[in-house]
Structure 1
Amino acid sequence: MAFQAAIFDMDGTLLESMGVWKDITTQFLNRRSIELTDADVRKFRDMTLEESLPLIVKMHNLTDTVEDVFAEFSALAADAYMNSIPMKPFAKEYIEKLHAAGVKIAIATSGYDKLCRGALTRLGVMDKIDAVALSSEVGVNKSNPDVYLLAARRLGAEPKDCMVFEDILIGIQGAKKAGMQTTAVADFSNADEWEQLKNAADRSIESWEELL
């Protein structure tokens, strides 16, 4: 499939980080003698921190303020992103391949700018990234096209010329609403909706090696 610009989700798409967010949430709740359930994991998976943290406080009747919870989550996440989270196998090589071919590359993430840039710099690919767009900048989650359109504008690319790589169903749906091409990327965290993802996207991959 021909495209002039590539827009990548980060967590679960480029990075092996979905398990880390589960671990962070588990650690946070364990400190308060609360168990993280599978239902909680499914509920929070597609949310931004701005969406999920107030819900965690409300669901568990915590005495913590949302600001305090955010600070604790941020500290736990920063350590992982800056020091230990790896890229998915062959993701770096694919980014390098696109960069060498002159394809413009953006990140569209529900995460945070500092964590995104810090992790990708440590992993040796930030110098290949031309733009970063955050869900927090547009004020809506990835079921909406806004963050993908922001990424395209920053790349100077038309939506129809963009390929979006995502590991969540609402991300594929949001990118489609933006008029972009889509690739579903397999991750352990999307196994329960993988068939839906494959059907919704223009194409799907189970390993980045397939695109080298």
Structure 2
Amino acid sequence: MMLKDKKVIIFDMDGTLIDSVGIWNQVDEALIQRIREDGKSEIKNVQRKRDEVLRKNDQADNPYIEYCTYLKKTYQSTLSVQDIHALRYEIAQDYLHHVVDYKEGAELFIKSLKKLGYQLVIASTTKRTNMDVYRKHNHRIISKANIDDYFTLVYTREDAKAIKPNPEIYLRVMKDLKVSRKDCLVFEDSLIGVEAAKNAGIECVVIEDQYSDAEREQINQLADYQIKSYLELLDKNGKLIEKI
């Protein structure tokens, strides 16, 4: 029973609570087409390459600056790294405001957890400015389950020196709430996210996201529980199934 004796339920954001990983792939594909000067048109394995660079630079001051450095070198761009970084988020704004939405059943699940008295936390590597869009401007998210109404704490990339798979963000959650590993349960979608939870010694539920399928076997071996949808955890009335 995944929720037995748990007090704090911690969620990753991108790909876990919201359908956004594919959108970031679209953003990066559009970015590459804008900056590239290598004379080519083919784009392969955007997400895998991004994850590899972020993993390698998880303790850098800004891992995404390192990612943009990689893009500049790989695609022979004459733009500065800072300009590439700024352009990435300029391209992303329309997606973040108008396209990103909760994963199926996610809002029902967090509402049910909140009613039962669980403390809910978001621990994400997304930028605070992106999270602010989800909290204040994305009406798909706001109308279904306003983040500030349901989550006790919201952590973003700026709240930890090292990003996932480093466990720092999860260790901070436990320290701030004065709870133990046994009190917590993490929901993640990616290999680096599951690794971060397990590196912190916390049980982890992985929710399937198609953009992590290339690492599915590793993810499922490492996670304590696997689900395809939050609806698996709810009855037909949107309430938590007792057996979980």
Deviation at 1:28, TM superposition (A): 1.1
What is the aligned-residue RMSD (CA, Å)?
1.8
Residues 58 and 137 of structure 1, relative CA distance in 2, 3 Å threshold: farther
Specify the SS of the correspondent of 1:182: strand
Q: Which residue of 2 aligns with 1:151?
A: 173
**2:106 equivalent to 1:73:** no
Q: What is the total number of aligned residue pairs between the two structures?
A: 212
CA contact under 8 A between 1:105 and 1:129: conserved in structure 2?
yes
Matches within 5 A, 1:32-181: 32-33=35-36, 35=41, 37-45=43-51, 47=54, 48-121=63-136, 122=138, 123-124=141-142, 125-126=146-147, 127-181=149-203
Q: Which residue of 1 aligns with 2:217?
A: 195
Deviation at 1:87, TM superposition (A): 0.9
Deviation at 1:120, TM superposition (A): 4.2
Quick one: which of 24, 28, 43 aligns to 2:27? 24
Deviation at 1:79, TM superposition (A): 2.2
| TM-score with structure 1 setting the length | 0.91
Quick one: which of 9, 13, 18 aligns to 2:12? 9
| TM-score with structure 2 setting the length | 0.80
Residues 102 and 209 of structure 1, relative CA distance in 2, 3 Å threshold: same
Specify the SS of the correspondent of 2:9: strand
Query: 1:68 corresponds to which letter in structure 2?
Result: D
Q: Distance in 2 between matches of 1:10 and 1:26?
A: 21
Unpaired segments ≥5 residues, structure 2: 55-62, 235-244
CA contact under 8 A between 2:65 and 2:82: conserved in structure 1?
no
Q: Which residue of 1 aligns with 2:237?
A: none
| 1:45-66 deviation digits (Å, cap 9, x = unpaired) | 3635234222111222222112
Residues 14 and 67 of structure 1, relative CA distance in 2, 3 Å threshold: same
Q: Distance in 2 between matches of 1:57 and 1:72?
A: 12
Query: 2:68 corresponds to which letter in structure 1?
Result: L
Moved more, 39-48 or 60-69: 39-48
Specify the SS of the correspondent of 2:93: helix
Q: Distance in 1 between matches of 2:169 and 2:175?
A: 10
Q: Distance in 2 between matches of 1:54 and 1:196?
A: 28
Deviation at 1:200, TM superposition (A): 0.4
Q: Distance in 1 between matches of 2:218 and 2:96?
A: 29
Q: Distance in 1 between matches of 2:180 and 2:127?
A: 25
Moved more, 143-152 or 86-95: 143-152
**2:211 equivalent to 1:208:** no
Unpaired segments ≥5 residues, structure 1: none
